[in-house]
Amino acid sequence: MIAAPAPPPFLQLAGHPLRWRLLSELARSDRRVGELCDLAGQRQSLVSYHLRRLRDGGVVSARRSLADGRDTYYVLELARCGELLGSAGASLHPGLALRSDPGMGNGSARARVLFLCTGNSARSQMAEALAEQLSAGAVRAVSAGSHPKPLHPNAVRVMRERGIDLTGRRSKHLGEFTGRRLHYVISLCDKLREVCP
């Protein structure tokens, strides 16, 4: 009798229930260890052990907070996960290799994305406009801030150079979007990320 081949390393790595839970949580947002412990209902030493395994496997990375440098955020390496998942499928059968779909996003449903930063005066406004332009209508983007300030003239100038007019846009408080159904909420600074509900 011929022994079956071992599962691909990605499946061995991601197949552990706690590691799969951590990957699932990181797919939703960058997280601190304490947040992951609360979400998984596990002690920090166990979560840290499995995070280290995921980091060693190249599917998770860590970065220091840009707000104050004290916190470490764990980040899902989405492109790497996609590569490993595609090769895992292909190892079972060539027809299971994942391919990128150039037509993806051309359906009738548009993705709804909220970009957040502290002032909603530059970064998030620019991200909102760029997402709508670069997605060719596949994304419906909005933006807001925790402490809105008037739209920065340099943001208007820089976007005008790219052929995008920001004049007439207003800064909005993130509270305006409470209760709205969104596909993604993207924070553009750690300061906001740490106060965002």
How do the domains of the chain map onto residue ranges? 9-96, 111-193
- Is 189 one of the annotated active-site residues of the chain? yes
Q: Which of 37, 81, 189, 196 is catalytic?
A: 189
9-96 CATH fold = Arc Repressor Mutant, subunit A (1.10.10)
pTM of the model: 0.59
| Measured distance CA(114)–CA(174) in Å, rounded | 9
pLDDT tens, residue by residue, 49-92: 999 999 999 999 999 887 778 889 999 998 888 888 888 888 88
- Rounded average pLDDT over 108-124: 87
pLDDT, residue 108, reads: 47
CATH 1.10.260.40 matches 111-193: no
Q: Which of 101, 188, 108 is nearest to 140 (CA)?
A: 108
pLDDT band at 150 (very low <50, low <70, confident <90, very high): very high
In 3D, which of 86, 79, 77, 85 has the Cα closest to residue 22? 77
Q: Is 81 a catalytic residue?
A: no
Q: Is the Cα dihedral 184, 122, 79, 56 positive or negative?
A: negative
- Residue 99 confidence (pLDDT) above 80: no
Give me the residues paired with residue 139 across strands: 111
Catalytic residue among 37, 81, 117, 196: 117
pLDDT at residue 105, as a whole number? 41
In whole angstroms, give the CA distance from residue 74 to residue 61: 6
